[in-house]
Structure formats: structure tokens, C-alpha cells
A and B are shown apart, each in its own frame.
Chain A
């Protein structure tokens, strides 16, 4: 199984500042034939279901604010919130879909400083 590890487990960022979340996989999730990274990011606000933010490591889902961006390749990935807003308080998860079983990171809790 591919193990996904996020860092940090939590972070507190001032409003308007940048938040950066890292995600590492124990094996590459880059599929050589199409050069796509099989990596998604989700946001889960308190009391809500997770919501898809980004897939293919860097493709923002329609409707997701452009302050959210994803980057990385192979085994190391980053979710960046360029200017944190109050409504971004949530737990963020990465997930690989390169192989079965699909696996998630443990989550990173983002709070306002």
C-alpha cells in the first residue's frame, strides 16, 4: 500500500498570510505513460463532508478559489493557500489514486493565528 504522510499535523496562520501543507508518498504516484500525478487534495470544514479541491496534483476543481494551488510531482506534493481567509479553517487531506487501495494522508488542521 502507498502510505501518505502530511506535514505539519496542524498550523496556525494569520489572515491574509500563506499556508503551506506538504504531502509525501512512499512511492511515486506519477504515471509515466501520461505524465500525470495521481494525487488529490480535499478540504473538510467542521461538521461537513470532505470537498474536492485539486486533482492531478495541480488541477483546481471548478469553483475552487484560485488562492488554492497544488504543486509537486512523484512523491512530494504541496497545497498552498496563498492568502488565508477565515472560511479556509478546515482539515486538509491528500489522497493518492495511483493504485488500490486508495489512501489518504492523516490530515492537516489549519487554524487562524
Chain B
């Protein structure tokens, strides 16, 4: 059974940093493109970042480019999102998600974790 478990969310002051983690199980993590998607009541679902299976291809939404860094450790079946210079508008539930097929970057989300909540507030 595919499982994605996020952690690392919490309350952070504006300008602060936080790292989210996602541990995967039930599939060959090292073969799949992975993504971060966030959800806010006001803006709905927003794609944040993607990383190919071998980390050779990385993409970011303009809203986080230069502040967030996606990475992965295939030996640990783990995906990360390092978030710096956090703003109030980054407040959201952050989901990690898996792409549909091995080796490809299709860009839609076959499996989702349960999400971790980030709140940015003073």
C-alpha cells in the first residue's frame, strides 16, 4: 500500500524557516517524481514544487522560487521542502504527492499524504 507521511509543520514567525519531510513507503520511491502541493481555504490547491526521480529536474512555483528548496534522499525514501523567508501567505496545509508513472515527470498527483499544517504568524 502506498503511504506518504508528512511531518515538520508548525507555527513560525514571518521571516523564519522550517523544513518539511515526507516519508514514503509501499512503492519504489527512487523511481518516481515527487511533488509538494499546498492548500489554503482562500486560494485552494496550489502546486509548489516538483523533483524528478534522480533530482536532475526541479521546478518551483514563482510564489516560492528563491525561498523554498525541494530535495530528496532516495536511500531514506524521503522528500523534503526547506522553506526560508516565510510569509503569512505561505500558511497552508502542505501535501507531498507522487506522480503517476515511474521515471516520468507527468505533473499530476496519483497519491497524496495526509498533509502537514504550516502557520506563519507573529
Contact = CB atoms under 8 A, between A and B. Distances in A.
B42 to A, nearest CB: 10
Contacts of B113: 49
A18 interface: no
A97 B107 contact: yes
A55 B50 CA distance: 18
A25 interface: no
Interface residues of B, number: 20
A70 to B, nearest CB: 13
Given A102-B47, A107-B44, A95 B95 contact: no
A16 to B, nearest CB: 29
Interface string B82-114: 000000000000010000100000111111111
Contacts of A93: 44-45
A32 interface: no
Contacts of B59: 100
B73 interface: no
B110 A100 contact: no
A106 interface: yes
A99 B45 CA distance: 16
A76 to B, nearest CB: 19
B62 interface: yes
A56 B28 CA distance: 24
B108 A95 contact: yes
A42 B109 contact: yes
Given A49-B95, A55-B100, A97-B107, A104 B46 contact: yes
Contacts of B115: 49
Interface in A57-113: 61, 93, 95, 97, 100-107
B11 interface: no
A100 B44 contact: no
A102 B35 CA distance: 11
5 contacts: A50-B109, A101-B62, A102-B47, A102-B108, A104-B47
Given A38-B107, A49-B95, 9 more contacts: A50-B45, A50-B95, A55-B100, A61-B110, A100-B59, A101-B61, A101-B62, A102-B108, A103-B47
